[in-house]
Amino acid sequence: MEAPEGTQEVVHAHGHEHVAAEHASTLELTTDDYLTPAGDCILGIEADRAPADFDREFVAACQDADATIALVLEADGHRETVTGSGHSDIECTNDRSMVGRTSSYVDDRTIFVDADKAAADLDRDLVAALADGADLTAALRVE
């Protein structure tokens, strides 16, 4: 079933040799064209969109504390879903990166909170594909 208009955002990014996905409480996509080994939460670089580009209807849906937000990550035949929650303080105003969090902390990069997985919890085959530079499709849906 298709998500209603305004309740889904799709972001395309690329893996990088420094994708380690070892962070225990966050995962991130960035529009930056580089990644250092210190960026252990970053799954993809050169994202074609940032939270500031998201439809305001989508952002409003993310501000519902009762909303379930699913992030479906697909790269090189591997697929993983991370599920989080909305929060009234989510603004989606950052023009550089988006962060999913296992905590309830919110800043201008936050796309969901209380996630069931962080970067360290992701399937290692998916992570390996991203470390090999695979293209990444990240679909965010408010359910």
* pLDDT single digits (tens) 132-141: 999 999 999 9
Residue 108: per-residue pLDDT: 97
The mean of the pLDDT values for the chain is 95
Residue 2 lies in a domain: no
Please list the residues that pair with 26 across neighbouring strands: 101
Residue 6: per-residue pLDDT: 58
Residue 3 lies in a domain: no
What's the CA gap between 17 and 139, in Å, rounded?
22
Tokens 């580009």 belong to: 53
119: CB partners within 8 A, 6+ apart: 20, 21, 22, 23, 24, 26, 27, 28, 40, 41, 42, 43
What is the band of 4 on the pLDDT scale with cuts at 50, 70, 90? low
Domain membership of residue 122 as a residue range: 8-142
Structural domains in the chain (count)? 1
Query: Residue 8 in contact with residue 58, Cβ under 8 Å?
Result: yes
CATH number of domain containing 71? 2.60.120.630
Does residue 1 register a pLDDT over 80?
no
Tens-digit pLDDT profile for residues 90-123: 999 999 999 999 999 999 999 999 999 999 999 9
- H or E, element range at 26: strand 26-30
